[in-house]
Amino acid sequence: MKSKQGLVALGVGVLLLGACASSRDPVGQGGVDAALEVDAALGDDAGASVDAAPTAVDAATADAAAPDAALPDAGLPDAALPDATADASADATVDTTAPGAVVNLTATALGFDRVRLDWTAPGDDGATGTATGYDVRFALAAITSDPLFAAAASAGTPPAPALAGTAQSMTISGLGPNTTYHFALRARDEVPNTGARSNSASATTFNRASLLITEVAPSNGAVDNYDFIELTATQGGRTDGLSVTDASGTVHMLAPFSIATGERIVIHTTGLPCPTGCVQEDLGGSATASTAAGASAAWDVYTSSTGLIATDNVISLREGTTIRDAVALANRDGDASAAAMTAFAELRSASAWSFSVAPVDATNDCAVQREAVSVATTDTLCGGFAVAGAARSLQRNGTSDTDGKADFFVGPQTPGAASAGNAAPSVVSATPRAATTVRVRFDDELAAAGVLPGSFSITGLAVSAATLVDVHEVDLTVSPAQTPGAPYVVNVSAVTDLQGTALGSPASARFCGFSAVPPGVVINELSPAQVGGSDLVELRVTAGGPLLGVTLRMNPDATGGTTLLGTLPAICAATGDLVVVHLIPPAGTAMTSETTSVTQFPVATYAANYDGAYDVLGSTSTGISATETVLLLRDSAGAILDAVAFSNQSASASPALFLTALTYIQGATAWLPPNCGGAPCTDTTTPTAKGVAASYMGVGSTPTGMSCRRTADTNLRADWSVAPQTLGATN
């Protein structure tokens, strides 16, 4: 840095005199003469005044006392006189050397929004010293000229310059993802002199991967390789900072790695240590490294948490606290947990899921659950319904992302692979609810737009209204009034599920005209010891009507515990009709329930059937106990139609289930006597439990052998006897 010292007033005066002498007398003598002339003209006092250092006031006084004409240089033009101010500036030492230019600027992307710049510090004067500051600029195009540099945006506050030759860097934040930025800088000193523009350096910020939650399996056990969440990249990029959470907290934080468009990540909630052969593939860099059971073709990762909440839950993909994607799921039982309702409310506030009302615990649980994806497996209070098949999961309908339940359907699990697609919805049943009302039930949620009167037709009845009363049930208003017990068929068209999938097969259902009086049905004949458990139960209709929903059950109790053996289809039965329920059909037997007539599937083609009865397929896994058992019939509303206690009269102790069931049906007055000597029946009471049960001792093990048959309807042991079977015919 150069020195810039001014001249004192006295020094200026001496230089002025010397300059005059020099300009008028090259050899220097005139300077002496001039000095003498000034002394002579002004006198001793004037001479003393020049010799002394003058102040601004002294100079003015001297000029006033001595006119210009009296001065020895009065004959010179004004231009020839020296200027003290100009001479002082010219004699000062000025810094005109700019800092050097940075020639090795580089840019490196650090993330989605950050770039680091590196360079070597220039000097204050060229390549030496320490500059005073930097001006760092960035643009979306190369900065290759000074005008482009001036037009570029400031990159914020750079570091103070270091000594020339020192490596320096700065990080620029707040940039956009997947964008190429160009940078340049220049240094300045304190004058300020500005150095030349650096080279233009560029970097492209990371591309943030766009991921969707595409499959969730919240109810798997070890046999199904545990619960999992599948993510699919709709846009390739980096996974830095992404995590998956549920209503209970963080499920997994993804490691930073690059994923290509279309690739999948499967997050297995196995807990740690993970299964044998597992590899955290988001750390290992290979999507084929894991060989654990359940490993997929996708990127497999394993969580420290075990399992997902399978009732009411929110699965979300987050970047920090920002929700990038989410799915709300519910079991639709009408009572979501407080934690789940809080999670639902967060989704609504973040516009991450479409809830029409703000979720408030214990206030609108049912309405909120209806707008989440159903994970129910049976009929529930708030729109749950039975889902067929095992190992099911929630699967996204392609890349649909409307933040609503229509984005997902239930189907067979496909972790790490594309979904097999949404199965077409179908008609499950039609049930008369009143003389002018029929309810049609489907196996999937329906789009309300397709539920119109014109989508339904019933021969002999006109449909004037169609109302979606539950997510998968439609009430039809019909006229005229149905004929009680008469057969009808409802045909459906132009109805779709929430995903827009058209109706599949079956698209129709049979029902019997509404009757205010429920049908009467009794257990009529029993073959309980058939080979392979292929047991047969014959029912007799004592009062005609619709049999849809009538259930055959084994060993019921007061708490509702029971084994379901079969549910009757829509048979429009007349008084005296017979129904044979087939349990565990023999291997190779193709069994389909008859609904339209007793010869719908004739014995000539279906050897196991009976042409004198409606043949109905019951349980395919459970037969009747060959020792002691209680059978019970309930109507579609759950009322008891009939009950019978059976025993093979063996000497072995009666099973506890049998004793409990016997007490239950006696208490319901469905079997007599009502007790055994005033106490619940056991093997030691009088009479004993076996003593009040109908005996099927001696029944055969083939369909043509002996069976236990009803001969009276008094609900007593004496109503039954063992005789040659007459299944499908009058006893």
What does the DSSP 8-state code read for residue 502? Answer: B
Beta-sheet pairing, 133-139 with 242-246 = unpaired
Is 231 within 8 Å of 282 (Cβ atoms)? Answer: no
Mean pLDDT lowest among 9-23, 307-321, 342-356, 583-597: 9-23
DSSP string, 85-99: HHHHHHHS----PPB
In this prediction, residue 41 has a pLDDT band, given cuts at 50, 70 and 90, of: very low
Is 580 within 8 Å of 610 (Cβ atoms)? Answer: yes
Write 710-716 long-range contacts (CB < 8 A, 24+): 710/522, 710/523, 710/524, 710/525, 710/540, 713/522, 713/542, 714/672, 715/643, 715/670, 715/671, 715/672, 716/672, 716/673
Does 513 have pLDDT greater than 60?
A: yes
Nearest by Cα to 301 from 279, 318, 319: 279
Does 25 have pLDDT greater than 70?
A: no
Q: What pLDDT digit, counting tens, does each position of 124-160 carry? A: 998 999 999 999 999 999 999 999 999 999 998 999 9
In this prediction, residue 119 has a pLDDT band, given cuts at 50, 70 and 90, of: very high
Does 16 have pLDDT greater than 50?
A: no
- How many Å apart are CA 345 and CA 104, to the nearest integer? 53
581 or 69, which is more confident: 581
Is 219 within 8 Å of 226 (Cβ atoms)? Answer: no
> 406: number of CA atoms within 13 Å, CB side?
14
Task: Please report, for residues 228, 251, 404, the alpha-carbon distance to residue 270 in angstroms, rounded to integers and kept in the order given.
Answer: 8, 11, 28
Beta bridge mates, 183:
138, 201
What pLDDT is attached to residue 483? 93
> What are the residues whose beta carbons fall under 8 Å from the beta carbon of 673, sequence distance 6 or more?
666, 687, 692, 716
Nearest by Cα to 564 from 506, 607, 622, 512: 622
176 or 10, which is more confident: 176
Is 313 within 8 Å of 247 (Cβ atoms)? Answer: yes
Percentage of residues of the chain with pLDDT beyond 90: 78
Q: Is the pTM of this model over 0.75?
A: no
What does the DSSP 8-state code read for residue 446? Answer: B
What pLDDT is attached to residue 625? 87
What pLDDT is attached to residue 92? 53
- How many Å apart are CA 70 and CA 250, to the nearest integer? 101
What pLDDT is attached to residue 590? 79
Q: Which two tokens stand for residue 271?
A: 């807990």
Q: Which two tokens stand for residue 572?
A: 């429009």
Longest distance between any two alpha carbons in the chain, whole Å: 171
What pLDDT is attached to residue 222? 86
- How many Å apart are CA 170 and CA 103, to the nearest integer? 16
What pLDDT is attached to residue 389? 67
What pLDDT is attached to residue 213? 98
What pLDDT is attached to residue 91? 47
The residue written with tokens 């827009």 in the block is: 500
Amino acid sitting at position 236: G
Q: How far is CA 210 from the centre of its chain?
A: 13
The b-or-e profile of 20-54 (16+ CB within 10 A means b, else e) is bbeebeeeeebbeebbeebeeebeeebbebbeeeb
Q: What pLDDT digit, counting tens, does each position of 409-459 carry? A: 999 999 999 998 899 999 999 999 999 999 999 999 999 999 999 999 999
